[in-house]
Amino acid sequence: MSVSFRAKPSLVAYLTCGDPDLSTSREVALAAIEAGAEVLELGVPFSDPVADGPVIQRASERALRNHVSLEDVLKLAAEIRSESDAGQIIFTYLNPIMRMGVEKFAAAAANAGVDGALVTDLPVEEAGEYLKHMRKHDLATVFLAAPTSTDERLKRICEVSTGFVYAVSRTGVTGARKDLADDAQKLVQRIRKFTKLPIVVGFGISQPEHFAAVGKFADGAAVGTAIVHTIEQNPGKEAQAVAELIAQVVGRRSSAVSP
Amino acid sequence: MATVSITKRHPAKVHGSRVSRTAKPGAPRLVATPGRFGPWGGRYVPETLMAACEELEREYEKAKRDPRFKARLAELLKSFAGRPTPLFYARRLTKKLGGAKIYLKREDLLHTGAHKINNCLGQALLVERMGKHRVVAETGAGQHGVATATVCALFGFECVVYMGTEDMRRQELNVFRMRLLGAEVRGVDSGSRTLKDAINEAMRDWVTNVRTTHYLLGSVLGAHPYPTMVRDFHRVIGQEARKQVVQAEGKLPTAVIACVGGGSNAIGIFHDFIGDKKVQLIGVEAGGRSEKLGDHAARFQGGLPGVLQGTYSYVLQDEAGQIASTHSVSAGLDYPSIGPEHAWLADQKRAEYVSASDAEALDACKMLARLEGIIPALESSHAVAEVIKRSPKMKKSDVVIVNISGRGDKDIGILRENLQLD
């Protein structure tokens, strides 16, 4: 199966699974797709999320109070798959995969119907075993590319990435920011030299203006912290609130672009 | 409320776009990250930090071969930190235990009160070489934070130290010392509010400010080159101890004992004895208050292979791969993972790892205070506890070195809460 990102940009929606509980995550995911998200990043809660800012840290802590595991997230992915064909990427730190076993993880992910994974703290140098098992199950291996990555590293990242390349818009942990650094566009141009894969820009996108701006130079824009924050702020009506947020972020673009 | 069913409403599934995942043929062969001790170690960090780790590795490799760097470091260790530290024969402790002859390596006499300054001076010189001006660090017991604040004052760097709020409570004197030295101490309220959480926060700061900021990691943990580099800066402990014991006794010791949190003082004193197969190397972990997960920090007695904060080693964790909480009376030993070189030494059976409980460490602290006039840090007291157990079973001709990695002044509050003095 090979479907490219349709919209320009496509909205990639991140959520920490199990925050506040798994059935809410399922509703939020489906509502996000309904509102215009083309790809879901299903975040696996981790006790020590070094690459995440306070909003996603708190979401992880809430999910871990219910002992939500990688296995639970894969079950959730299968449930979402039974209702939608939207792309699904497992977004995780390495240790939960190591504990499950890379081989078992790849098989379980394929079985759940997910499209691929992004492992935050797994650099390309270390990915040999992981790539082997992911390839065997025809799963996409998405890697991060950062403004601080050298051209040599970007080349290596592009060589082993499938699905898309995730461009970190600026240095820092996840978190909504008021303005997007020029870093993002420059980075996308640098990555473009090495790959024809879609490029998704993430880390800090929360406003329709960001989304429209990213659309000028990238294929997708990931919205994470803004969604997780919305979930935190709207207990009992999480799905509806996230749907409204996504419609708003995407909407400005469609009204500006439509004739 | 009925759930939205995408499939029903949109039979064509237009709102979803599967991700293309076709692998390109002839994918390159990957080289594992450097900095391995057997299978352990490596460099598991988000991509944003890879360039900074590579830069640090390059700079350190260059500095290592630069005679001026070596000379400046040696001079600072001598005139600022107070090296060499003595190797002291503990006559009354030896007599009381009735076994091996016990020597104490007095890292507690160093400036700032612990071995941590060795590494901080080395890294400060690297920060200067890299042209950075801002330093972040984590601290558990506060000893590394104080040493970092000290070198930042000495070199004129801006300094931010992250410290769990639980540790700030346990080590309030050190918090004040850091502030007095001009550092900003930022409390960390997430997770267990201890060392591991302070490292998370320091890493987040580093990720954000990587272009101007150096992360002055305080133990043989984290991504390459830290475990190797920090070890090298502490090797001076073992180099001195080896010379001193040979001079005093005309032979190598039977055993060398050190406490192990991340493992920096232990690897420092062990390293120059690794080639001497007859010298037993003994690391002492925090046995805490019980053997239950969450009640101790004995990684070799409950840990499983895993990746935490950049390195592959033994990690205390649950079956889902979530990092376990830990406990120790000493704030410097309650880390859920252990330096990767220790994992390798344990696998090779070159070093042996045991544990001492909170109560044993407290008793050992009191015993050393009363028999030798030395109040060891609660971390180092774990090593003393092991020699108390082991020495009576040894021969009088045996010689043991115990690394007193730090002094106990910072622990007076906890000691007062926990010790009944008669």
Task: Find residues 24-43 of chain B whose CB sits inside 8 Å of chain A.
Answer: 24, 27-33, 42-43
pLDDT of residue A197: 96
Please give the pLDDT value at position B190.
Answer: 84
CB within 8 Å of chain B, chain A residues 199-238: none
C-alpha to C-alpha distance for A89 and A118, rounded to whole angstroms: 7
Instruction: For B197, name the nearest residue in chain A, comparing CA atoms only.
Output: A48
| B42/A126 CB distance under 8 A | yes
Cβ–Cβ contact B224 with A under 8 A: no
Structural domain spans, chain A: 10-250
Inter-chain CB proximity A95 and B306 less than 8 Å: yes
Instruction: Please report the pLDDT score of residue B30 as a whole number.
Output: 65
Question: From edge to edge, which strands make up the β-sheet containing B255-259?
Answer: B87-89, B101-106, B399-404, B255-259, B280-288, B351-357
Torsion of CA A77, A82, A86, A87, to 10 degrees: 40
Mutate to test the interface with B, among A6, A40, A48 (most CBs of B within 10 A): A48
What pLDDT is stored for residue A1 in this prediction? 31
Closest residue to B5, CB basis, from A10, A67, A83:
A83
pTM: predicted TM-score of the whole model, two decimal places: 0.92
Q: Which chain B positions have a beta carbon within 8 Å of A61's beta carbon?
A: 190-191
Window 164-193 of A: residues touching B by CB (8 A cutoff) are 164, 168, 171-173
CA-nearest residue of chain B to A99? Answer: B321
Interface test with A, best of B21, B132, B326 (most A CBs within 10 A): B21
How many angstroms separate the CA atoms of B297 and B337, rounded? Answer: 8
For B390, phi and psi rounded to 5 degrees?
A: -90, -40
Is the domain spanning A10-250 CATH 1.10.10.10? The answer is: no
The CA distance from A170 to the nearest CA of chain B, in Å, is 8
Give every residue of chain A whose pLDDT is below 70, as ranges.
Answer: 1-4, 171-181, 252-259
Alpha carbons B325 and B351: distance in angstroms, whole number:
25
Test B17 with A131 for CB contact under 8 angstroms: no
Is the Cβ pair A171, B203 closer than 8 Å?
no
The ipTM (two decimal places) reads 0.92
Catalytic residue list of B: 116, 138, 405
Active-site pick, A19, A38, A48, A52: A52
Give percent above pLDDT 70 in chain B: 93
Chain A interface includes B208 (CB < 8 A) = yes
| C-alpha span between B212 and A67 (Å, rounded) | 38
Query: Is A52 noted as a catalytic residue in this protein?
Result: yes
The pLDDT averaged over each successive group of 10 residues in chain B (422 residues) is 31 46 50 86 93 93 97 98 98 98 98 97 97 95 94 98 91 93 95 88 90 95 97 98 98 98 97 97 97 94 95 97 94 94 97 98 98 98 98 98 96 90 79
Instruction: Please answer yes or no on whether A146 and B21 come within 8 Å at the CB atom.
Output: no
A95/B308 CB distance under 8 A: yes
Q: Are B91 and B139 in contact (CB under 8 A)?
A: no
Beta strands in chain A (DSSP E): 10-16, 37-43, 87-92, 116-119, 140-142, 144-145, 165-168, 199-202, 220-223
CA A74 from centroid of its chain's CA atoms: 15
Q: Which pLDDT belongs to residue B25?
A: 45
Instruction: State the amino acid at position B257 in one-letter form.
Output: I
Inspect the interface and report whether the beta carbons of A51 and B52 lie closer than 8 Å: no
pLDDT 10s digits, B125-148 = 999 999 999 999 999 889 999 999
d(CA B381, CA B360): 8
Q: Is B200–A172 a contact, with Cβ atoms under 8 angstroms apart?
A: no
B319 contacts chain A (CB < 8 A): yes
Determine the distance in angstroms separating the CA of A208 from the nearest CA of chain B, rounded to an integer: 19
Contacts of A64 in chain B (CB under 8 A): 322
Q: pLDDT value at position B146? A: 97
Partnered with residue B162 across adjacent β-strands are B138, B186
* Torsion on CA atoms B114, B118, B123, B128, rounded to nearest 10: 110
